[in-house]
Structure 1
């Protein structure tokens, strides 16, 4: 209801009507209505975040428990050997022929290393400029086999540039090279004296 008193007049006119509701007044009401929803949404988001953190912790704990031997079953490599995956490796400091290196490995209850993957090869690389590994093509030229009789998968490993090349017709033993511009597996004369790498499985300890 609105009351108007015009100036200079002695009577009062009264007009009765409905107020117009302007849109500008509604955001306040809407904000008041959404406040309870916001209060409920915040704890819910915190709970989801907490669950994500707990899940990450559980995943890490599970991986650690699977990668660690059970209590009382700790396995380690012999002194002077290095562990990678499920194997122990011995890097010689002496120099011998391929056969001489292999005999030394056998005395240690091992054999010349068999490289199964690029990851293992990367681990072995860099300990010496050249070291004998357990592969040869003595039985059949060009057919490389490991000391356990399994064929060498030439495509899955890194060979030095241009190798194997059977230079001068007498390179029947394999070594691992770490040289500038000459990195990877290589065929070499078996009688040359150089270092070697032995490998034994952790299950054989």
Structure 2
């Protein structure tokens, strides 16, 4: 005897049943039947209101909690990694100039407060891996006088009949003019002046900024 085809709305064991439009739930809710004696069916795909003890509600709520928990763990891991990377980066980071030094262009400058003779100022600069300031432009001179009005020593000195910078560069008279009969040079707002090296003045150190 040939088996009959299942009617619409019914199915054999473990086969999906699609309800018609006028059924208890709207069309599109997939039922899975079981051969158990109670003929219980799960209807997690059904639309419409469900009772509080519906297992579909429990499953959906559990899935949501697991998803939120996974997102929280992922965000925490990202924060930890970013914190570690930031701390490592800061170890390598350092200011372009030492504390109490000022940056201008690619150089760091230190302006002393106490007056000393030219050689003492030079020794101080050397002890900080710097030199008495070598000025290369009028703008650099103007920058210096924004921070000092006390006409400080710079790294220029007479050697024989010529002036030389402490870094060995020759002095260019087309950039600045020097007045005075002395051996060591200090700066005024608009010119350079040479005087005796034993005179006491503040001084300016300079060195290349850290890169």
Scaled by the length of structure 1, what TM-score is found?
A: 0.54
User: Match for 2:205 among 198, 201, 205?
Assistant: 198
Instruction: Answer with 1 or 2: which has the greater Rg.
Output: 2
For 2:107, the equivalent position in structure 1 comes to 87
Q: Unpaired runs of 5+ in structure 2?
A: 1-89
* 1:44-99 deviations in Å (ceiling 9; x for gaps): xxxxxxxxxxxxxxxxxxxxxxxxxxx97664211100000000000000111000
1:164 positional shift: 1.9
User: Match for 2:117 among 97, 100, 110?
Assistant: 97
User: Alignment partner of 1:106: what SS?
Assistant: helix
Distance in 2 (CA, whole Å) between partners of 1:94 and 1:164 is 24
User: Alignment partner of 2:120: what SS?
Assistant: helix
Distance in 2 (CA, whole Å) between partners of 1:128 and 1:104 is 20
Q: Unpaired runs of 5+ in structure 1?
A: 1-70
User: Alignment partner of 1:155: what SS?
Assistant: coil
1:188 positional shift: 1.2
Scaled by the length of structure 2, what TM-score is found?
A: 0.53
Distance in 2 (CA, whole Å) between partners of 1:176 and 1:97 is 14
User: Alignment partner of 2:114: what SS?
Assistant: coil
1:129 matches 2:163: no
Distance in 1 (CA, whole Å) between partners of 2:170 and 2:97 is 27
For 1:34, the equivalent position in structure 2 comes to none
Distance in 1 (CA, whole Å) between partners of 2:111 and 2:160 is 28
Deviation beyond 6 Å, 4+ runs, structure 1: none
Higher RCO structure (Cα 8 Å, ≥6 apart): 1
Aligned-residue Cα RMSD (Å) equals 2.2
Distance in 1 (CA, whole Å) between partners of 2:150 and 2:204 is 12
User: Alignment partner of 1:156: what SS?
Assistant: coil
CA contact (8 A) 1:128 1:195 kept: no
Distance in 1 (CA, whole Å) between partners of 2:95 and 2:171 is 29
Number of aligned residue pairs: give it.
Answer: 121
